[in-house]
Amino acid sequence: MRVKIRFGKGQRVSQARRKNKRVALAVSALLTPGAFLASVLALWRIAADLSWAGKFAITSGVFSHWQVWMVLAVVLQACSRMLARYGKRDDRKPSMSA
């Protein structure tokens, strides 16, 4: 015996491109201060190594090296720029006008 279940036709599911772009712009705006903070920590670590500043807060582990903070700053800023470009991109198809 076969039982067929028929569902009514509901609303079509559409891709929410606008929402994704807004989220990308919001995350991009938050990543830039994070990149700035990472670069400040890298400069603080360099200054602490040269005895120009007080003792660095993180004394051991991976995050005690200035190179890690500098790479983190560059990666965060690169991600921020990529998300900003995605958020500002125009998805409309170009018109073929002569």
Please tell me the number of Cα atoms within 13 Å of 24 on its side-chain side: 16
pLDDT recorded at residue 97: 57
User: 80, 78, 70: which is closest to 31 by C-alpha?
Assistant: 80
Query: Is 32 a member of any domain?
Result: yes
Query: Is 6 a member of any domain?
Result: no
Using alpha carbons, list the distances in angstroms from residue 48 to 24, 45, 73.
Answer: 36, 5, 18
Domain count, the chain: 1
Q: Please, what are the averages of pLDDT over each run of 10 residues along the chain (98 residues)? A: 80 66 92 96 94 90 94 97 90 60
Q: Buried (b) or exposed (e) across 36-62, using 16+ Cβ within 10 A?
A: eebbebbbbbbebeeeeeeebeeeeee
pLDDT recorded at residue 5: 79
Q: Which residue blocks in the chain are alpha helix, DSSP H?
A: 17-49, 66-88
Query: Is 96 a member of any domain?
Result: no
pLDDT recorded at residue 3: 84
Query: Is 64 a member of any domain?
Result: yes
For residue 54 the two structure tokens come to: 């007080």
Query: Is 47 a member of any domain?
Result: yes
pLDDT recorded at residue 46: 95
pTM, two decimal places: 0.71
Contact 35, 80 (CB under 8 A): yes
Query: Is 3 a member of any domain?
Result: no
Query: Is 79 a member of any domain?
Result: yes
pLDDT recorded at residue 28: 95
pLDDT recorded at residue 44: 95
pLDDT recorded at residue 82: 95
Query: Is 36 a member of any domain?
Result: yes
Q: Which domain, by its residues, includes 68?
A: 17-88
